[in-house]
Structure 1
Amino acid sequence: MKLDGRTALVTGASQGLGKAIALRFASEGAMVVLAARSLERLAETAEDIEAAGGRALAVPTDLREPAAIDALAQRVEAELGGIDVLVSGSGIAGPTAELWNVSPEEWDETIRVNLTGTFLTCRALLPAMVRRRAGSVVVIGSTTGKRPLFGRTPYAASKLALVGLVRTLAAELGPHGVRVNLISPGAVAGPRIEAVIQAQAEAAGTTYEATLAQYAKEAPLGRFVPPEDVAAAAVFLAGDDSHSITGEDLNVSGGLAMY
């Protein structure tokens, strides 16, 4: 039970990687606060955790709104006495198109959720960690931020920006005993990557099958990344086994990125 006795807040916990991380954290003994916009999906995640004997608190939160995130931080502090771990996993895929065919609204929404949402979450929840002089922050980035991927400029820009945010934040928080790290997953198996591949195939004028095969062969392991593997990496970075690790960008990509 690597997270026994700790309280973790996971954003984006209603589906995908966020849900996988929340489930794994609960199985490792953490009390997990679940945050995302969808009440129905958050309730499903909470039910799954509790059915397995874990503990969860679902708090529907629009992570694009500073006031909503401030309210989340205040509730966590009042009801649970704060958190030990923050996982910023909320994000959207954004549009798939050449840059000149991306609207300003699509660009702004992708940056607002993927980058600004992480900023707002950290801004609201980190002061309590600083006061307690302890804590771990895990941010979910993407290998797309570090290598070209056709039609994915807004997403790539938002995810690479998180690397700079994490490194600088690690330098700021280190003296206060708080660690900050980032995980860069490769293509994670699930509905989101399937939708992205379909959109890329349409934008490039090729087939879904051809695009899917290209994705798989680019990674040395020749396959997509199971979400459970990313969740295991998050547990490592959240817990005591990574006590001396901060400011790192950990690839969980099957070798798709090695830098």
Structure 2
Amino acid sequence: MVQRVMITAGASGIGLAIAKAFAISGAKVSICDVDERALGEVQQLHPQIFAMHADVSDEKAVDQWFDKTAEKLEGVDTLVNNAGAKGPTGYVEDIALDDWRQCISVCLDSHFLCVRRAAHLMKDQRSGSIINISSTAGLHGYGLRTPYAAAKWAVIGLTKSLAIELGPFDVRANVICPGSVEGPRMQRVIQAEADGRGLPIDVVAKEYTQSQSIKRFVSPEEIADMCLFLASPAAKMVTGQAIAVDGHTETFHVSN
């Protein structure tokens, strides 16, 4: 049976690596993203992937994406909630409420909106895998990034609760907690922190990897590999788990 996979924020970075990995495995893949340029590149370079513009923090946009995907893929077996935002960088007393809410909306509300649609479909077919992307910040906390950390902790709670609700229907729900993933997004995070702390960017970058047993950044493809496993029959009894792909965080990066 050909697997049918939906991936949020799938036009670049981790999301694109996941989409490509599933497509190479033979799956039918549907992605959405807010980046029109990146979506255009996916449609040009990977025409087998259905790509659609959608802001997954918006309920109507999520419904439209699921409705269109149902036509293209004729169902869904795996949902990967990858959408997220770095949120503001700063001490909690300096964070504006609007910035807090925007980060929560993208990092948490989007997961809720998508799993609400997927849960109904998967329960009806009595099978499925939901994979939510959190972060090691959702395991340890994250100074100067409180909105992001709060949302990522909540994603783990959401997923463990989903595992309880959906288990009787043979639907699994798991969380992947990436460490520091190489790429432009991580560079922007490091730059913002370096600016806020008044430190050179290379000093802050080194702090991230020095706190790990394997002292390098994670590749997007390594996150994709874990998604493939969790969506496969090899993981048919794996549910409710928060799995770090981070080279083992010994001491979480602390900003001060």
TM class by shorter-chain length?
over 0.9
- Structure 1 segment 52-67 matched on structure 2, within 5 A: 55-67=48-60
The Cα of 1:257 is off from its aligned counterpart by 6.2
- Distance across 1 between alignment mates of 2:149 and 2:84: 12
Normalising to structure 2: TM-score of the pair?
A: 0.94
Deviation larger for 68-77 or 185-194: 68-77
Match of 2:254 in 1: none
Q: Does 1:180 align with 2:177?
A: no
Q: 1:29 aligns with which of 19, 26, 29?
A: 26
- Distance across 2 between alignment mates of 1:14 and 1:101: 32
Q: Does 1:169 align with 2:169?
A: no
Match of 2:225 in 1: 232
Taking every aligned residue pair, what percent have the same amino acid on both sides?
35
Unaligned ranges ≥5, structure 1: none
Q: Does 1:45 align with 2:38?
A: no
Match of 2:245 in 1: 252
Q: Secondary structure at the match of 1:146?
A: helix
- Distance across 1 between alignment mates of 2:229 and 2:160: 18
Match of 2:13 in 1: 16
Q: Which amino acid aligns with 1:25?
A: F
Deviation digits for residues 112-170 of structure 1, max 9, x if unmatched?
A: 00000100011122211111111111110000122243311110000011000000001
- Distance across 2 between alignment mates of 1:111 and 1:190: 22
Q: Does 1:116 align with 2:131?
A: no
| Number of residues of Structure 1 aligned to a counterpart in Structure 2 | 252
Q: Does 1:190 align with 2:180?
A: no
Runs of 4+ residues over 3 Å off in structure 1: none
Q: Secondary structure at the match of 1:9?
A: strand
CA contact (8 A) 2:211 2:250 kept: no
CA contact (8 A) 1:33 1:56 kept: yes
Normalising to structure 1: TM-score of the pair?
A: 0.93
Q: Which amino acid aligns with 1:99?
A: V
Deviation digits for residues 203-248 of structure 1, max 9, x if unmatched?
A: 1222211111111111110111011101000100011110110001
Computed over aligned residues only, the root mean square deviation of the Cα atoms, in angstroms, reads 1.6
CA contact (8 A) 1:251 1:257 kept: no
